[in-house]
Amino acid sequence: MRLLNASGCLDALAAPDVARSLDVFVTKTVTPLPREGNAPVRIAEVDHGMLNSIGLANPGIDNFLSHSLPRLGELGVPIWVSVGGFAASDYADLCDRLDDCQEVAAIELNVSCPNVDDVPASVGGIVGAARAATRKPIYTKLSPATADVAAAARAARDAGTDGLSLVNTILGLALDERTLRPTLSRGRGGLSGPALKPIALAAVYACYEATGLPIVGMGGITSGRDALEFVAAGASDVALGTILFSDPGASTRISRELQAELAAVPVDSPDNAIGLAHAAPTFAEGVARRDTSLPV
Amino acid sequence: MRLLNASGCLDALAAPDVARSLDVFVTKTVTPLPREGNAPVRIAEVDHGMLNSIGLANPGIDNFLSHSLPRLGELGVPIWVSVGGFAASDYADLCDRLDDCQEVAAIELNVSCPNVDDVPASVGGIVGAARAATRKPIYTKLSPATADVAAAARAARDAGTDGLSLVNTILGLALDERTLRPTLSRGRGGLSGPALKPIALAAVYACYEATGLPIVGMGGITSGRDALEFVAAGASDVALGTILFSDPGASTRISRELQAELAAVPVDSPDNAIGLAHAAPTFAEGVARRDTSLPV
Amino acid sequence: MKRARAEILGTEPVGPYTLLRIRRGGLEPGIPGQFFMLEAPGRQLPRPMSVCLAPPGELAFLIDPIGPGTRALAAVERGDELGVLGPLGNGYDLDIESPLLVGGGIGVAPLPYLSDALGHPPALLGFRSERHAEAARLVHNAEVVVEPKLVTEPLRDLATDCCKVLACGPEAMLRAVADVIPAAQLAWEAPMACGYGACYGCAVEIDGELKRLCVEGPVLAAEAVAA
Amino acid sequence: MKRARAEILGTEPVGPYTLLRIRRGGLEPGIPGQFFMLEAPGRQLPRPMSVCLAPPGELAFLIDPIGPGTRALAAVERGDELGVLGPLGNGYDLDIESPLLVGGGIGVAPLPYLSDALGHPPALLGFRSERHAEAARLVHNAEVVVEPKLVTEPLRDLATDCCKVLACGPEAMLRAVADVIPAAQLAWEAPMACGYGACYGCAVEIDGELKRLCVEGPVLAAEAVAA
Ligand SMILES: Cc1cc2nc3c(=O)[nH]c(=O)nc-3n(C[C@H](O)[C@H](O)[C@H](O)COP(=O)(O)OP(=O)(O)OC[C@H]3O[C@@H](n4cnc5c(N)ncnc54)[C@H](O)[C@@H]3O)c2cc1C
Ligand SMILES: Cc1cc2nc3c(=O)[nH]c(=O)nc-3n(C[C@H](O)[C@H](O)[C@H](O)COP(=O)(O)OP(=O)(O)OC[C@H]3O[C@@H](n4cnc5c(N)ncnc54)[C@H](O)[C@@H]3O)c2cc1C
Ligand SMILES: Cc1cc2nc3c(=O)[nH]c(=O)nc-3n(C[C@H](O)[C@H](O)[C@H](O)COP(=O)(O)O)c2cc1C
Ligand SMILES: Cc1cc2nc3c(=O)[nH]c(=O)nc-3n(C[C@H](O)[C@H](O)[C@H](O)COP(=O)(O)O)c2cc1C
Ligand code: FES
Ligand code: FES
């Protein structure tokens, strides 16, 4: 099990030490052209999480390749590049540009950003186009804002994705304490943090069952216990997002906490806990100590 | 603005006093045939809400009409009947059966229960069939688990719904503290409570903008401030769900708190706060006291 | 049912359990076997707890801290206030001759109040360990067995049809009691979100159908529950 | 930048504001105008706060309780611990002649530390009310104006190019200062989730492009900000 940052939640060049504390650094989503992102205000706190409407602010693939990537390569941490576009061909072009870069360990397809108006084409179409353009491992990042996330996961698998990143944010709204108008200039924004956790966990659980693909689990992880639950639900790796804003040292703390949690399960390594939530009842009952008294 | 219970969160026959504390009582969803619901365990607490996988346990329309409805009629509270099925024709039949019942003030179409396997047909098809079957006011209850809830709202409006109920639960997962297996027998269940609030608020905001229809807002409302935010986002009425489990007296408390909140806005009645979040900036700035120092 | 904010008069350890005492105020203690929903500080949902003791002006609950809710309840402090709702559900039928109380583990919780109501009839209590067995001191006239010994062994000899059994405990024990004494009254558990019939979360199979335990029970006739 | 859990040494009211003092421990106070991200107890995100004073072994922050985060910070108690991260961003350029400090409202926050660093140069402070003006006592050698009078009036006479202006305050004031003194150094605000360049939430228009205030600022040359 590896500990990653969630895309858009860490700039390795602004905070190299934080990036080095991770097993993999994932870039903010890179698009074909530079984007300033949405107008401020573009973050807001809510009671059990936060909203963002950054809108894929990024230098564009050209500047990324010429300026950012070489410096990222010097970090000594495997680099995953998150890419986003508005048509399958955008994704294909981006993957094609990245295919020869030896600094790039894998590509994450962000087909799920809630903060851009043009919704990208079908997941299958995008993944297929990307698959044809690169031999790098592809992780497809899905949105939980769908009636059947497992269907999207199957489409991605059938089109050739190597893994899934689950989940992206889901649209939420916050109103200003005094004006009652949306805090974010754009109105709605993507909800992340603890409020998202049960939804993310459900997506990981369903997609693991539906595809058996490797999954990077994320969504409201703040503790080793949270990380363990994502692994048990089916994640082979986990990513930290919002928690990094309040605790840049979260990865070290969470790995430590995870070890303690594993001892209690008891399982010797995180990898042996992958999919535990799907284990045969017999095993689980073995783990459970005391019989509850539900007459069923 | 009226205060309702959220469907499935109150049994007026088991707790008549609580029902009488509301402006409208909404029944648990009634289906064509009786349903036992899903096997226990079917509720679980999560950090900022709860999950349920009740699965539309209900006596079926025949028993409902013969036994429940007459007794509900004696409560002295307007009755909304929530109906659910698995095909447009089910909804049409249910609406047809209810059309002559003078105890029934309105019908809520639950097209969004996450706890039944057969997903109902298209929203437009269901609403159209229901519309043809009854002259009663129809409120269509939508799920937030979609990339574009406003599109579903438009479809419902175009098919003739009189209003919208927003939102139903969204699938979540909880793992048992010790066994790491799903707490619910069914695995995933519908997330409700505070964690759902920003998502619900966003759905109300988007659907108000898209349709201008009357909206019953719900999702994590626990205080008068929460109720005010739903109204500002565009709800003309609000419903209480999960909060009723821990506080059966919530409606009285929340109405009191709402009055205090209105005085602060300042707005004289809840109805004058409907859609305030969409008001022209000028107005909102008028409400805002102090200029912040964002250089944009 | 009545809802109140009740002052906490104190907590004391009883073996691994915690006895939580609150000011009764205007609350009725109800019939033994009935329960209250207690606010679990910091949690979303209240937790069902049987009335354990009802001395004048007080209500007491015996809590087994097994998870977030019960741990939060065991950690409350004297002087704090707690939202409570009750009494709820159906208690034991007390109109019986020569009762015998049977409890297992935290299932002992409703028995002290039940014993007082019945004039301290004989009781048979089973526990997982000597430490858990400390809770037996709350029940007059009790015979105690500790695992590996089970209450069902002495029960076989004692309770033919000489006496009426009123029991509370883990599922396995209740099922065993039901086998030996079909006429027993058994208090069951289920996860509960509301305790007053609103959520349908507490469904259990009763007389062959899923019904709400908080409405039909928690005390049920042994025959009512499928074997 | 360094992260630590710092002990709270105390809080005291300063007019409507709260002065929060923490143990410095291994933290660097940084350059005046730099800021720290302070954990806001019970909230999801930390809040950016300018270093107000840096006496030996301490760091002090002046807090205007305007919302959930600042209210939570103003309510912390002596002995509590707080997660803090910093110093962050770019402070004022101190290598200047005859400085003049200008502050408006809570914008006074960074000026006491800045004044100490510059040997107590003259300062011009504007406040909404006499009560808010109590904060002026934290800054040596300060002239105070209270609304309806605005700092920009005396500023016109005082600061031709006789002196270099270092300012902090609400947007309207900063823009007015920029008009009068294009060479001024201005400390701006933006909502910040991380404070160290990770979230891109603090974007403001700098030299015609949206850039991260926590990385490029918070202190910027007046020319850098679009009129
Ligand atoms: C009518 C009624 C009356 C009750 N009276 C009492 C009472 O007087 N005293 C009392 O202590 N409890 C009583 N209970 C049980 C009590 O309500 C539950 O134990 C409590 O709700 C659990 O909440 P929790 O958040 O602490 O644990 P949960 O999070 O609900 O469960 C925590 C963990 O404990 C495990 N678990 C579940 N049940 C048990 C168990 N029985 N033993 C060990 N682990 C278990 C679960 O697998 C889970 O991992 C009663 C229940 C009912 C329905
Ligand atoms: C680099 C930097 C340094 C800062 N230094 C300080 C400092 O030393 N002391 C200090 O008190 N603050 C300082 N601030 C501002 C402070 O960080 C914010 O006020 C704080 O984050 C607000 O959080 P909140 O949750 O309390 O309020 P929020 O929930 O963020 O806002 C609460 C309400 O206040 C309103 N609001 C927004 N800004 C203002 C305002 N300026 N006045 C009144 N209402 C407003 C909003 O409309 C909202 O309704 C600094 C900001 C930055 C970027
Ligand atoms: C400020 C911010 C910016 C984000 N930017 C991106 C992005 O550029 N691309 C992407 O795929 N996800 C982005 N996300 C989503 C996160 O990668 C992650 O999926 C989500 O935040 C859930 O994880 P968390 O709850 O741990 O934050 C962003 C999230 C936040 C909070
Ligand atoms: C236990 C439970 C049962 C529910 N049953 C129904 C139902 O039968 N029909 C329906 O439309 N919604 C049902 N819901 C959803 C609620 O009506 C409501 O949409 C949701 O809980 C969000 O509101 P809340 O956060 O205030 O609970 C149920 C919710 C809960 C918690
Ligand atoms: S606990 Fe809610 S219906 Fe029984
Ligand atoms: S506050 Fe996060 S990038 Fe500036």
Q: Tokens 């349709």, residue?
A: B211
The 10s digit of each residue's pLDDT in D29-87 is 999 999 999 999 999 999 999 999 999 999 999 999 999 999 999 999 999 999 999 99
- Using the predicted structure, report yes or no on whether residue C226 has a pLDDT greater than 80: no
Contact state of D191 with A244 under an 8 Å Cβ cutoff: no
Q: What is the pLDDT of residues B110-162, one digit of tens each?
A: 998 776 655 555 899 999 999 999 999 999 999 999 989 999 999 999 999 99
C216 touching chain A per CB within 8 A = no
Q: Give the pLDDT band of residue B287 (cuts 50, 70, 90).
A: very low
Is the pLDDT reported for residue A64 higher than 80?
A: yes
Number of H helices, E strands in chain D: 6, 14
Closest CA to D3 of A50, A246, A240, A14: A246
Structure tokens at D172: 């309207």
Residue in chain A closest to C192 (alpha carbons) equals A294
B54 C-alpha to ligand 5 centroid (Å): 11
Return the ligand number nearest the Cα of A50.
Answer: 3
Whether pLDDT at C58 is above 70: yes
Contact by Cβ (8 Å): B181, A284: yes
Facing residue for A173 by CB, picked from B49, B180, B198: B198
Q: What average pLDDT does range C28-43 have in this prediction? A: 97
What mean pLDDT value characterizes chain A?
Answer: 92
Q: From residue C113, give the alpha-carbon distance in Å to each of C139, C165, C169, C184.
A: 9, 16, 15, 18
pLDDT tens readout for residues B237-275: 999 999 999 999 999 999 999 999 998 888 889 999 999
Q: Which of A30-39, A172-181, B287-296, D151-160 has the lowest mean pLDDT?
A: B287-296
Closest chain A CA to residue B183? A277
d(CA B16, CA B251): 14
CA distance B125 to B121: 7
DSSP β-ladder status, A104-110 and A79-83: parallel
CB-closest option in A178, A205, A281 to B187: A205
User: In chain A, pLDDT over 70 holds for what percent of residues?
Assistant: 92
pLDDT in tens, B32-73: 999 999 999 999 999 999 999 999 999 999 999 999 999 999
Range picked from A202-206, C154-158, C174-178 for highest mean pLDDT: A202-206
- Residue A40 and residue B170: Cβ atoms within 8 Å? no
Average confidence (pLDDT) over A50-63: 97
* pLDDT tens-digit series, residues B158-204: 999 999 999 999 999 999 999 999 999 999 999 999 999 999 999 99
| pLDDT tens column, A247-288 | 999 999 999 999 999 998 888 899 999 999 998 654 444 333
A248 vs D: CB within 8 A:
yes
pLDDT of the residue at A181: 96
Spatial CA neighbour of D23 closest among D80, D74, D73, D91: D80
- Closest residue by Cα to atom 28, ligand 4, is B8
- pLDDT for B117 equals 54
What per-residue confidence (pLDDT) applies to B268? 87
Instruction: Tell me what the mean pLDDT of segment C157-184 comes to.
Output: 86
Look at ligand 4, atom 12, and give the residue with the nearest C-alpha: B7
The strand pair at C142-146 and C123-127 is best described as: parallel
- For the cut 50, the answer to whether the pLDDT of residue A154 exceeds it is yes
Residue of B nearest to D174 (CA): B293
Look up residue C196 and give its two tokens. 């007053």
- Mean pLDDT for chain C overall: 94
- Alpha-carbon distance of D118 to D114, in angstroms, equals 6
The whole-number pLDDT of residue A282 equals 44
Q: Does D180 reach chain A within 8 Å, measured CB to CB?
A: no
Contact D45 A247 (CB under 8 A): no
pLDDT greater than 80 at residue A129 = yes
- In order, the DSSP letters of chain B are --EEEPTTS--TTT-HHHHHTSSBEEPPPB-SS-B--SPSP-EEEETTEEEE-----B-HHHHIIIIIHHHHHTTSS-EEEEE--SSHHHHHHHHHHHTT-TTEEEEEEE---TTSSS----HHHHHHHHHHH--S-EEEEE-S-SS-HHHHHHHHHHTT-SEEEE---EEE--B-TTT-SBSBTTB-EEEESGGGHHHHHHHHHHHHHHH---EEE-SS--SHHHHHHHHHHT-SEEEE-THHHH-TTHHHHHHHHHHHHHHHTT-SSGGGGTTGGGS-HHHHHHH--S------
Q: Which residues of A touch C205 (CB under 8 A)?
A: 295-296
pLDDT given for residue D1 in this prediction: 85
The pLDDT value given to residue C154: 84
> Which ligand ends up closest to the CA of B11?
5
* Residue D157, pLDDT score: 76
Q: Which of C35, C192, C206, C211 has most ligand 5 atoms within 8 Å of its beta carbon, as the pocket-test mutant? A: C192
Ligand in closest contact with the CA of C215:
5
Q: Tokens for B167, please give them.
A: 């939102």
A180 touches C: beta carbon within 8 Å: no
Using CB atoms, which chains have 3+ pairs under 8 A with D?
Answer: A, B
> Are the beta carbons of B22 and B5 closer than 8 angstroms?
yes
CA distance B48 to chain C (A): 7
Nearest-ligand number for the alpha carbon of D36: 2
Chain C CB contacts of B47 below 8 Å: 44
Contact D199 A9 (CB under 8 A): yes
Provide, rounded to the nearest whole percent, the portion of chain A with pLDDT above 90. 87
Query: Do residues D55 and D43 lie in contact, with contact meaning Cβ atoms separated by under 8 Å?
Result: no
Distance CA A238, CA A279 (A): 20
Q: Which of chain D's residues have a Cβ under 8 Å away from the Cβ of A36?
A: 203, 209-210
Residue A228 reports pLDDT greater than 80: yes
Q: Which chains have 3 or more CB–CB distances shorter than 8 Å to chain B?
A: A, C, D
- On whether any CB of chain B is under 8 Å from the CB of C215, the answer is yes
Chain B's closest residue to C38, CA to CA, is B246
Mean pLDDT of D208-227: 90
The residue of chain A nearest to residue B284, with distances taken between CA atoms, is A179
Query: CB distance A198–B173 less than 8 Å?
Result: yes
Give the percent of chain D with pLDDT over 90: 86
Testing ligand 5's pocket by substitution, the residue of C37, C90, C212, C220 carrying the most ligand atoms inside 8 A of its CB is C212
By the CB < 8 Å criterion, does A147 face chain C?
Answer: no
Nearest partner of D63 among D43, D42, D35, judged by Cα: D35
Q: Is the pLDDT of residue A116 over 70?
A: no
Distance from C-alpha of C12 to C-alpha of C134, rounded to nearest angstrom: 13
ipTM exceeding 0.90? Answer: yes
Name the residue among A49, A171, A198 with its Cβ closest to that of B172: A198
Does residue B168's CB lie within 6 angstroms of at least one atom of ligand 4? yes
Mean pLDDT of A168-194: 96
| Of residues A245 and D179, more confidently modeled | A245
State the closest ligand 1 atom to the C-alpha of C109, by its place in the atom list counted from 1.
8
Q: Tell me which residue of B165, B151, B42, B59 sits closest to B112, measured CA to CA.
A: B165
Residue D104, classed as helix, strand or coil, is: strand
Residue-level pLDDT at B281: 53
Of B9, B95, B113, B207, the catalytic one is B113
**pLDDT per residue over D117-164, tens digit each?**
999 999 999 999 999 999 999 999 999 999 998 988 888 777 566 778
pLDDT band at B294 (very low <50, low <70, confident <90, very high): very low
C224 touches chain A (CB under 8 A): no
